[in-house]
Each structure stands twice: as structure tokens, then as C-alpha cells.
Structure 1
């Protein structure tokens, strides 16, 4: 089963606060008995200089390293501080035979998807998160990664909100009744962030409704 969720964690928030508009999307996470939890992620959409300065002083991570740099994005590796609630949440996923499929920053927290073997594992994971002070908000549950329920279609809450808001504001009307800046104002985000949510949302809808499987 695939679970779409969000929760508020402090990881990278100090670095993100100083780099307005920066968005982070996880690529890979791993740890062993002898290696602390590492996260590899893409960052885009903000001031990279400010973000990297923030990474150096962010209390939630250590040893940040820029791995790849492109025109509009950068790929980083950080090591989590061992005592973070998010580290316990990740270890609980692994111990319950789950797998983190993706995760990205959304506002002051993270949205993501995890594959669990059954609902019992999900419930135990939520209990273990609550035990370390993390409240998990589950947005959707579906059986197969590519077959979400009709009211979700694999969209994150942020993507769904952006698409609905854009439609209600007349962004898709001909002629358009608002701009990306107008959509962003309604969502409380920058026009670039609004554009990114709409683009990702439309790609997700196409993949889950129109592409042949």
C-alpha cells in the first residue's frame, strides 16, 4: 500500500528560512549500523548562496556537501543529526518493512509517500512518530503506486490545492482571468512556486489518468 502524508519536522528549515523560495526534493536516504542517516536531495528555486550558508549553520544536519550543480538546481548530501525525531521516523519505516518513495518540502514541513506492507505497519509507524513528537497527517492511501484513488490521482495536497485554486481563479480560462502571480498570491507562495506546483500537478495527473499502463 502507498501512503501520502505530511508532517512538520525541523529538518533543513533553518537553511530554507534564509533562502526564500528554495524548494527541496529528496532523491535518496540511507543509513547503516555504523553510518548516520544521509539524505541526498535536489534544491531549486531560491538563493543558493544563502541556502548553503544556512546549511553550514543548520542545527539539524552536518557535513553538507554540494555534489552536482546545474543552471537552475543543485544536488546536495547532508548527514542528519542522530537525535532528530525524523531519524527515528525513518528507522521505523525501515524496521516495519516500509520504503520512502519520495519527499519534498511544503511550507514549514515535508510531504511524501511511503510504501508499507499493510495498514498495521502504517498504524505502528504513526504511533512511533507520535511517541517522538511528530504528528503525521495522512492524505491518501492506495494499493498500487500507479493507481491512486479517484479523489487523489497521486497528487500531493499542495499540487491539488494549486490546480483547484488556478481553476477557480480563471488561470485556465480563455482569455486568462489571472496570472501566475495571482495564483501565487491566493496560495501564499511566489509565482515560481505556484508554477512549479501546477507543472508537477499536471504531470502527475497525466501519468495517472492518460498514460497507458
Structure 2
């Protein structure tokens, strides 16, 4: 089974406040009994210099390293201090035979997907997160053989939420019934973050529905 979740861990949130509009998407995480938890991720959409400066001062990570870069994105590795609640949450996933499939944040908490063998493992993970002081919100649960409707076009939960919210609030109406700031207020994010989610969501829809190449 696959679980879509959001939770309120503060990892990288400090660095992201230094670069509004930046989005972080996890590539993978790894840890052993002798190696601290390491996260590898792509960052895009904001000011990289401000973000990297923020990484150096972010208390939730240490030893940040830029590994590679592209014209519009950069790839990083950070190490998590052992005392972070997020480290306990990740170790619980591994111990319960789960697998983190993806995770992302734009500075407003984390969302992602985890594959679990059964509901008992999911329930125990939620209990262990609560014990570590982490509030977990389960957004959806579905069989791994079936993709939910919001993923049928490759949209992330955040992109789908932004597009639906914008449509329902009249952002696409003529004349417009709300602004980006209004959409952002509905989503609980800044207007810049709302704009980024809408832009990426529309690009994703076009690529997966209209672009035959």
C-alpha cells in the first residue's frame, strides 16, 4: 500500500525562508548503523545563493554540500543531526519495512509518499511519529498497483491542490475573481509559492496531456 502524507517537521525550513519560492524535492535518503542520515535533494525555483547561505545556518542540517547543478536547479547533500525528530521518523519507516518514495517542501512543511506492507505498519509509524512530537496528516491511501486520480497526470498533491483551489476561487475566470495573493491565502502559502505551484502544475499537465513528444 502507498500512503500520501504531510507532516510538520522543520527540516530545511529555516534555509527555505531565506529564498522565497524555492522548492526542495528529495532524491533519496540513506543511513547505516555507523553513517548518519543523509538526504540528497534537488532545489529549484528560488535564489540559490540565499538558499545556500541559509543552509549553512540552518540548525536542522549540517555539512551541506552542493554536488551538481543545472541551469534551473541544483543538487545537494545534507546530513541530519541524530537528535532531530525527522531522523526518528525515517528510522521507523525502515524498521517497519516501509520505503520513502518521494518527499518535497516549499518551506511550508513536508509532503510525500511512503510504501508500507500493511495498515498495521502505517498505524505503528503514526504512533511513533506522535511519540517523537511529529503530527502526521494522512492525505490518501491506495494500492501500489493503482495510481490515485490526482497522480494520473503526474501532478504532485501540492500542484493539484493549487490548481483546484485557483479554479474554485475564480483565478482563471474572466475577469478574475481573485489574485495570486488570494490563492496563496487559501493555500496557506505566499503568493510567490502559489504562483510557483500553479506554474509547475500547468507545465506538468501540458507535458502529460498535450505534448505528444
- TM-score by shorter chain over 0.5: yes
1:49-76 residue CA offsets vs partner (Å, 9 max, x unmatched)? 1111111111111110001112221110
CA-CA distance at 1:173 after TM superposition: 4.6
Specify the alignment match of 1:38 in structure 2.
38
Specify the alignment match of 1:11 in structure 2.
11
Specify the alignment match of 2:130 in structure 1.
130
CA-CA distance at 1:23 after TM superposition: 1.2
Matched-pair contact (CA < 8 Å) for 2:155–2:204: yes
Q: State how far apart, in whole Å, the 2-side matches of 1:55 and 1:131 are.
A: 28
Greater mean deviation of Cα atoms: 66-75 or 171-180: 171-180
Specify the alignment match of 1:163 in structure 2.
163
Specify the alignment match of 1:99 in structure 2.
99
Aligned pairs for 1:54-69 (under 5 A) are 54-69=54-69
Q: 1:49 to 1:150 in 2, by over 3 A?
A: closer
Aligned pairs for 1:173-212 (under 5 A) are 173=173, 183-184=183-184, 187=187, 189=189, 193-201=193-201
1:98-128 residue CA offsets vs partner (Å, 9 max, x unmatched)? 0000000144310000000000000000011
Specify the alignment match of 2:148 in structure 1.
148
Greater mean deviation of Cα atoms: 132-141 or 189-198: 189-198
Matched residues, number: 210
Greater mean deviation of Cα atoms: 153-162 or 66-75: 153-162
Specify the alignment match of 2:76 in structure 1.
76
CA-CA distance at 1:158 after TM superposition: 2.6
Relative to the length of structure 2, the TM-score reads 0.83
Specify the alignment match of 1:89 in structure 2.
89
Q: State how far apart, in whole Å, the 1-side matches of 2:203 and 2:101 are.
A: 17
* SS of residue paired to 2:78: strand
> Does residue 26 of structure 1 match 2:38?
no
